[in-house]
Structure 1
Amino acid sequence: MAFKKYVLIALLLFKIGSCVAYDHPGGMHPQQQLDFVRKQVKAKKQPYWDAYRQLIVYADSAWYHPIEALADFSVPGYYVDAVMHRKNSKSLNTNAFDAYACALAWQLSGELKYADKSLEILNAWGATNTLYSDADGSLVMAYAGSGMLMAAELLYGYQGWTEADKKQFDRWVETVYRKACNEIRNRSNNWADWGRFGSALCAQFLNDEQEIAENTRLIKSDLFHKIAPDGSMPEETKRKANGIWYTYFSLAPITAASWVIFNATGENLFTYSQDGRSIKTALDYLHYYSLHPSEWKWFPNPNKGSAQSWPGNLLEAMSGIYRDKEYGTYVQASRPLIYPTHHFAWTFPTLMAVSLDIYR
């Protein structure tokens, strides 16, 4: 009886503490999803099989890219100095994608070389990078560094990751990456969305229940300020020729953060609505004007994406969430889709199909 009493007390203290033990791997790629995709790949079922072979090609290319971890990740504002912005962002963009692709390749193939290559990149950044700076340093750290967090989550249980190196990476997450994300998550536009997504990834990785709850609260607090009654996103449509891009660039992290939160807590923000407005109404708006950019009322001849790139990657992912045939039709001829650069909300949407129920 005494033993049972102490066990109950311990469980109670654990439950009321600031942290919980989330399932790992989790976040963007929960175990149920990985198991599901492995089965599809083993059976060579399409489009998973072609998407898997595509992933392996990208993962193999990681050996041809230098690891360029920077002590100070300094990124000037894009509209101030676009050349230097791209140049200084490239190191994290390339390394984060390679780490993510290799970690996912290890999970699906079981080949240790991919896990070790991913770890080489994570360990280099964890040991070298101590800060970010300049006007866009925090934003680029948030959206490009997300690939590092997803790689780390996929490698969470890998025995080749030593405790010393893991603690070093944990420190980088806490003192650099999460700091950058939390610094911008209260902004009014897409900066906040990338901050919340990155912060949610950190909370999952670090088992921080309070931070998952805070990012959930933040998303709910201003979602219907971000989404107008007609489905447009006023903070993004005002960006002149790039209004369609920025609408996508806001919805990508909002949906990705919602997916991370769903996997961690079961709360479904995809159906959260107010006065007929929801994430789905904004996605429908983006989908329509991606097909009909000449009708975009906010700016003449806006820059538009494509089914092969953005917003194809987002709509491919959301076709699984909402079972929307029109989204699927938009991207069908472009499968398998991959978005291998810049930001990593929906990088492998064909291979890593998302669903609220088919894994369970």
Structure 2
Amino acid sequence: MPGTPGTPGTPGTRPFTRRGLALLATALSGLLLTLLPGPASAAPAAFTHPGVLVSQAQLDFTRAKVQAGTQPWKNAYDQMMASSYASLSRTPAPRSVVECGSYSNPNYGCTDERQDAIAAYTDALAWYITRDSRYAVKAIQIMDAWSAVITDHTNSNAPLQTGWAGSVWPRAAEIIRYTYTSWPNVSRFATMLRNVYLPEVINGSNSNGNWELSMMEAAVGISVFLDDKTDYDKAVTRYLNRVQAYIYLDTDGSLPKTVPGSGLDTSSEIIGYWQGQSTFVTGLTQETCRDFTHTGYGISAISHVAETSRIQGVDLYPQVGERLRQALGFQSKYQLGTAVPSWLCGGSLTLGLGPVTEVGFNAMHNRLGYAMTNTQTLTEQQRPAGTNSLFVAWETLTHAGNPS
């Protein structure tokens, strides 16, 4: 049955206290967040650039904080600049065909592609903060090297690999294209995203939910860079369906929602897909009982798409915010060491959420005002958040306390 085991029953007829009214208002607001319909069209009349994960205003906020030496942004910046991703001597390692099997075995170019994409994004951020053109030139060198060579992704992990790298390339490209003076091969890079990356991710996946969420993050970011309203709308629609099917709320009923066309038609099939978990509580994700690392991938992609859409002028937080907030809080609680009850994943969890809480915490707590005690504690403990070497990078720097 839904609901947390042992939850007290409905209160009696005592008058509401001020605190009680506040709690009721928060509950009703959360319910509203889950019930509002999605936009008829998610794409803006005109796309905002730079506008993938970080906006011009967010970049300006970050730059000002770093220049003033303010924490935690200065430590986060120093961490980024000390990493190998910021090295001006980095040599990109492009391949024509990137072949990635399950868990990147075989690994023919998989790590190289992901790390070069993160390096390009790192250099783009370094350029914007320092105004040292060497970093813009290095970002362009890395992106040009790949756009001149790559033609395909193959093997079983091709969709996920394309989603991971395809989520990061547009972040770097947006900053360079719209804040630096010259990028002669920008059209070739756009063609690479259009022909090599977008077809691999736009139709989604019926694998574990983190796959499709990462793929939709890539599709949304690429569509922004390409000013492609049709594929942007298609990706957001699939994303909204997947978010509902990835994070459970009590209001969903006795079983989690499913994605149209998933083929999950019975209770046993849905429970199997949820890693054998049969007690569903608010904040549980489809991969909680698999491990927190993959769960973190899904949560991160959810927050990234919501941020990009907000920058583009269509706020998706009314549709996904309550699920994101609850998932962050639920996972953070156990990541911080709360004892695991026997009804949850057989009484055992595989932790390792990763540096994925900063974006969602900033949106839901700092901008929207929700109390998120566990998420706040974990986020502050993990600062400065670095990179997971896949598609998450430097989010304390870009999103900690960022009001823009």
Q: TM-score scaled to structure 2, two decimals?
A: 0.73
Q: Residues 330-341 of structure 1 correspond to what in structure 2 (within 5 A)?
A: 330-341=378-389
Opposite residue 304 of structure 1, the aligned amino acid is: L
CA contact (8 A) 2:359 2:399 kept: yes
Opposite residue 278 of structure 1, the aligned amino acid is: R
Distance 1:142 1:121 in 2: 18
Distance 2:222 2:205 in 1: 13
Change (3 A) 1:183 1:273: closer
Matched, 1:193 2:208: no
2:335 matched residue in structure 1: 290
Report the CA distance between 1:127 and its aligned residue.
Answer: 0.7
Matched, 1:134 2:134: no
Distance 1:27 1:342 in 2: 17
Change (3 A) 1:224 1:112: same
The worse-fitting range, judged by mean Cα deviation, of 113-122 and 257-266 is: 257-266
Distance 2:381 2:243 in 1: 32
Opposite residue 29 of structure 1, the aligned amino acid is: V
Report the CA distance between 1:257 and its aligned residue.
Answer: 0.8
Distance 1:61 1:31 in 2: 21
Report the CA distance between 1:336 and its aligned residue.
Answer: 1.7
Opposite residue 236 of structure 1, the aligned amino acid is: E
2:190 matched residue in structure 1: 170
CA contact (8 A) 1:338 1:348 kept: yes
1:266 matched residue in structure 2: 314
Opposite residue 237 of structure 1, the aligned amino acid is: T
Give the total of aligned pairs. Answer: 323
CA contact (8 A) 1:103 1:154 kept: yes
Matched, 1:235 2:282: no
CA contact (8 A) 1:321 1:354 kept: no
Change (3 A) 1:272 1:41: same
Report the CA distance between 1:348 and its aligned residue.
Answer: 1.2
Deviations 1:41-71 (A, max 9, x none): 2211111112122222226743444311110
2:358 matched residue in structure 1: 316
Report the CA distance between 1:247 and its aligned residue.
Answer: 1.8
The worse-fitting range, judged by mean Cα deviation, of 217-226 and 136-145 is: 217-226
1:150 matched residue in structure 2: 171
CA contact (8 A) 2:212 2:242 kept: no
2:398 matched residue in structure 1: 352
Matched, 1:221 2:241: yes
SS of aligned partner of 1:295: coil
Matched, 1:302 2:322: no
Distance 1:68 1:190 in 2: 27
Deviations 1:197-224 (A, max 9, x none): 0011011111122333222222222433
Query: Which ranges in structure 1 are unaligned for 5 or more consecutive residues?
Result: 1-15
Query: Which ranges in structure 2 are unaligned for 5 or more consecutive residues?
Result: 1-40, 251-280, 366-371
Opposite residue 348 of structure 1, the aligned amino acid is: W
Report the CA distance between 1:298 and its aligned residue.
Answer: 1.1
Distance 1:316 1:295 in 2: 24
2:47 matched residue in structure 1: 22
Opposite residue 40 of structure 1, the aligned amino acid is: K
SS of aligned partner of 1:69: coil
Opposite residue 331 of structure 1, the aligned amino acid is: T
Opposite residue 156 of structure 2, the aligned amino acid is: A
Opposite residue 104 of structure 1, the aligned amino acid is: L
Opposite residue 197 of structure 2, the aligned amino acid is: Y
Distance 1:95 1:265 in 2: 30
1:246 matched residue in structure 2: 294
1:41 matched residue in structure 2: 66
CA contact (8 A) 1:318 1:354 kept: no
CA contact (8 A) 2:202 2:235 kept: no
Report the CA distance between 1:156 and its aligned residue.
Answer: 1.3
Report the CA distance between 1:233 and its aligned residue.
Answer: 4.4
Whichever structure has more helix as a proportion of its residues is 1
SS of aligned partner of 1:74: strand
Distance 2:213 2:116 in 1: 22
Change (3 A) 1:132 1:150: same
Change (3 A) 1:176 1:132: same
1:90 matched residue in structure 2: 111
Report the CA distance between 1:288 and its aligned residue.
Answer: 1.6
Report the CA distance between 1:132 and its aligned residue.
Answer: 0.7
Opposite residue 395 of structure 2, the aligned amino acid is: P
SS of aligned partner of 2:153: strand
CA contact (8 A) 1:100 1:150 kept: yes
CA contact (8 A) 1:59 1:105 kept: no
Distance 2:383 2:331 in 1: 20
Work out which of the residue numbers 83, 92, 99 in structure 2 matches 1:74. 99
Q: TM-score scaled to structure 1, two decimals?
A: 0.82
Opposite residue 349 of structure 1, the aligned amino acid is: E
Aligned-residue sequence identity (percent) comes to 21
CA contact (8 A) 1:102 1:118 kept: yes
